[in-house]
Structure 1
Amino acid sequence: MQTEISFPADDGTSLPGVLTVPDAAGAPGPALVMIYEAFGMTDEMRRVARDLAAEGFAVLIPDLFARGRITALCVARAVRTVRRGAGRELEDIEAGRRWLARRAEVDADRIGTIGFCMGGGFALLLAGTGRYKVSAPFYNLPLPVARACPVVASYGGRDVSTRGYPERLEARLDELGVPHDVATYPEAGHSFFTRTPGVKGAIAARSPIHAEYHAESAADAHRRVVAFFREHL
């Protein structure tokens, strides 16, 4: 079941989001805070949340762009927050996590995070906060990692924006002794997990990052992520 919700931010603002829970929700179970890509709250992000809920996870997508009117400016501010490791978006995500933890369907001790592109950067940052059991970043901005919970990360081999980073991330997680599964799909590019329709999709597919859906890689990444979540959540 997927519903529109709102939750209180630290400054008193009521922020919107989308909550998706398993149809057969019974006892409190594992949950995920999902951070969307730069296109915002799209049908594809909702579809991904439904797919994860079908695997038994409650999923909250906080709408991080709700405070602004111009999407491009919201994206720029969010990317700046990812690069700095501090900012309003991280505070709003934490408010969403606390709201999610209070839900009757959710075991507050079993919350993970997943994110895509811009959202993947947030997911990797959240992995170091000590508040999440597991993190699944997808084709995120290359970031340093000081500490982390277990990480299952996915990248496209044709994506020049992350070239060489998966290997560095895996080496760092090895060094930290953190359980991990880092995979690069040679035939996939950026945004291989979701479909971007229309003109935006056509332009992205022809860009140097080859941003387009790749069904085989997406299916395998879904399998890996769900298996890793079940092990660590």
Structure 2
Amino acid sequence: MGTMITFPSNGGETPGYLALPSTTPAPGIVVIQEWWGLEPHIRDVTDRFAAEGFVALAPDLYHGKVATEPDEARKLAMELEYDRAVAEIIAAARYLLSRAEVRGPKVGVVGFCMGGGLSLLSACRSDLFGAAVVFYGRNPNPIEQVRSLTCPLLGLYGEADQGIPPTEVERLRQALQEAGKQFELHIYPNAPHAFFNDTRASYRPEAAIDAWRRTLAFFRQHLKTA
């Protein structure tokens, strides 16, 4: 359904995977990769959003590199410059809004694993986003950055996530409450990290199906035109 494109960013160009729905104009969504890179699963998720009526763009934050082993993915994630990545995500949002197929005035952003944290961080640094969804992403550091969040937030987490335990989710909840932000956080019982990725052993169908339903409803609610 989609195709590789490039869009202007940081004085240069960033590659990305763009998927268009059957009917346009439509709301736009930026889809942010896991630490593996822009691999088939993320392209598939981008296609799924297009099939649901969104113009979806997944920026390639590794610029062509894709990991297949955890050690390799960890290395790529550690080498990623978060400020540059956030700038590319914001540039992807700006690019979507420049296309005739996209109905503004804002776009959504959703990320998984590493991309989940980047989704929240991007929504704290730009007002181009009308809704942000975090799938098991780490909290910003320092967490007080959520005071700058510019849109409603949906967070989806697994109770059995060893890297992002429920205590971290509750820390985020408290920070968002203190900042007076609009948000929903859900923790799925017994679900591990990456419960949505149906190409991994971590996949949990029941949690994934519910999280997808919530994500679509959230974007449809908050990306209505002004």
Q: Could you say which TM-score interval applies, normalised by the shorter chain?
A: 0.7 to 0.9
SS in 1 for 2:206: helix
Give yes or no for the alignment of 1:18 onto 2:9. no
Give yes or no for the alignment of 1:124 onto 2:120. yes
The more displaced of 47-56 and 111-120 is: 47-56
**CA displacement at 1:68 relative to structure 2:** 6.2
Maintained 8 Å contact 2:89/2:122:
no
Give the alignment of 1:134-213 within 5 angstroms: 134-143=131-140, 144=143, 145-148=146-149, 149-163=151-165, 164-197=167-200, 212-213=202-203
Alpha-carbon distance in 2 for matches of 1:68, 1:59 = 21
Alpha-carbon distance in 2 for matches of 1:188, 1:147 = 30
Alpha-carbon distance in 2 for matches of 1:157, 1:76 = 25
Maintained 8 Å contact 1:29/1:110:
no
State the TM-score, normalized to the length of structure 2. Answer: 0.86
Maintained 8 Å contact 1:115/1:121:
yes
**CA displacement at 1:95 relative to structure 2:** 2.1
Q: Deviations over 1:169-224 (max 9, x none)?
A: 22222222222111000121000011345xxx5xxxxxxxxxx1111000000011
Structure 1 residues 140 and 105: alpha-carbon distance in aligned structure 2, compared to 1, 3 A threshold:
same
SS in 2 for 1:107: coil
Specify the alignment match of 2:104 in structure 1: 108
Alpha-carbon distance in 1 for matches of 2:65, 2:40 = 20
**CA displacement at 1:228 relative to structure 2:** 1.1
Q: Deviations over 1:6-26 (max 9, x none)?
A: 1122222x3211001112x23
The alignment covers a number of residue pairs equal to 211
Give the alignment of 1:65-84 within 5 angstroms: 65-66=62-63, 72=73, 73-78=75-80, 81=82
Q: Give the letter for the 1:218 counterpart.
A: A
State the TM-score, normalized to the length of structure 1. Answer: 0.84
Maintained 8 Å contact 1:102/1:108:
no
Alpha-carbon distance in 1 for matches of 2:158, 2:129 = 25
Specify the alignment match of 2:89 in structure 1: 93
**CA displacement at 1:69 relative to structure 2:** 8.7
Select which of 43, 46, 51 maps to 1:49.
46
Alpha-carbon distance in 2 for matches of 1:115, 1:38 = 11
**CA displacement at 1:64 relative to structure 2:** 0.6
* Cα RMSD for the two superposed structures: 1.9
Specify the alignment match of 1:207 in structure 2: none
SS in 1 for 2:154: strand
Q: Give the letter for the 2:186 counterpart.
A: A
Alpha-carbon distance in 2 for matches of 1:89, 1:183 = 26
Alpha-carbon distance in 2 for matches of 1:218, 1:180 = 19
SS in 1 for 2:37: coil
Select which of 185, 210, 213 maps to 1:223.
213
Alpha-carbon distance in 2 for matches of 1:134, 1:94 = 13
**CA displacement at 1:131 relative to structure 2:** 2.1
Alpha-carbon distance in 2 for matches of 1:31, 1:128 = 18
